[in-house]
Structure formats: structure tokens, C-alpha cells
């Protein structure tokens, strides 16, 4: 990713998040907790590597990756998965594999926000983060 996207972003809005979490196998109690959280994303670039730190009241998740290279990460629910992130302009697409489940995250950056569309088995959600 480019350093131009570095910064802190706070969740502004969320649509269909609970249905998406249910589709990827997140239990009811964890979904309820996740739906009440208003996370902050901290994005930093160091050479070829990008770090996205998601800070929520109940957990902080740090993901470090290099574009186009597969990496292992731990999701907020504690599940270990394999991912790869690719970029085209200001749109970054992450494909995450959890056994037979494929999850797609599309992060579209503008000057002051990130639109994150998450898709699994036709169920999608949209979360918008504003730059702070």
C-alpha cells in the first residue's frame, strides 16, 4: 500500500454487519459484542509492508502484509486464516481463506475515508471509516 493511506480511521457507519458475521460462522454472543464496538483502524506503511491495526474495546488485532504475498493472520474472533491483498489504484482487495470458506474484503480509500465491503457466500456488509 502507499503511505498516502496511512492514518487513523474511526467507524462512522455499518450496514448488514451482523448478517455477514453470522455467515462467516461467528456465534451470537461474539456478534452482539462486535456490533456494539466502534473500532479504530490504524494504517502504517514501512517499505513494502503495510500494517493495519484494528483497535476495539474488547480486542486489538494487528495484521502485517506485503501486497501480492499470502500471509497467515488471526481474525478478531481468534480464528487463523490465510489471506492475500492486491491493489488497483486506491482499491485494495483481500481474499481470506478459512478452510472451504472464502471471504472478500474490498477497501476503497478516498481522501477522508475508507469504504470496506465484506462479502461471503453472497452476503455483504458495508462499513465506512472516517479519517481522524
Total of domains in the chain: 1
As a whole number, mean pLDDT of residues 85-111 equals: 94
The answer to whether 35 touches 50, Cβ cutoff 8 Å, is no
**What whole-number percentage of the chain has pLDDT above 90?**
77
Residues 6+ apart with CB under 8 A from 29: none
Q: List the domain range (segments joined by +) for residue 108.
A: 3-131
The confidence band for 43, taking pLDDT boundaries of 50, 70 and 90, is very high
H or E segment to which residue 27 belongs: none
Whether this prediction's pTM lies above 0.95 is answered by no
Give the domain CATH number at 61: 2.40.128.20
Whether the per-residue pLDDT at 131 is higher than 90: the answer is: yes
Residues 6+ apart with CB under 8 A from 126: 13, 14, 15, 16, 115, 116, 117
The confidence band for 2, taking pLDDT boundaries of 50, 70 and 90, is low
Amino acid at each position: 500500500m502507499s503511505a498516502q493511506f496511512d492514518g487513523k480511521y474511526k467507524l462512522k457507519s455499518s450496514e448488514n454487519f451482523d448478517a455477514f458475521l453470522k455467515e462467516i460462522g461467528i456465534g451470537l454472543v461474539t456478534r452482539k459484542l462486535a456490533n456494539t464496538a466502534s473500532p479504530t483502524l490504524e494504517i502504517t506503511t514501512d517499505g513494502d509492508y503495510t500494517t493495519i491495526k484494528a483497535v476495539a474495546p474488547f480486542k486489538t488485532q494487528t495484521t502485517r502484509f506485503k501486497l501480492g504475498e499470502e500471509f497467515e493472520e488471526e481474525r478478531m474472533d481468534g480464528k487463523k486464516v490465510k489471506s492475500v491483498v492486491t491493489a488497483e489504484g486506491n482499491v485494495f482487495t483481500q481474499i481470506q481463506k478459512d478452510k472451504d470458506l472464502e471471504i472478500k474484503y474490498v477497501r476503497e480509500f478516498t481522501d477522508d475515508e475508507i469504504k470496506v465491503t465484506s462479502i461471503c457466500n453472497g452476503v455483504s456488509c458495508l462499513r465506512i471509516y472516517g479519517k481522524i
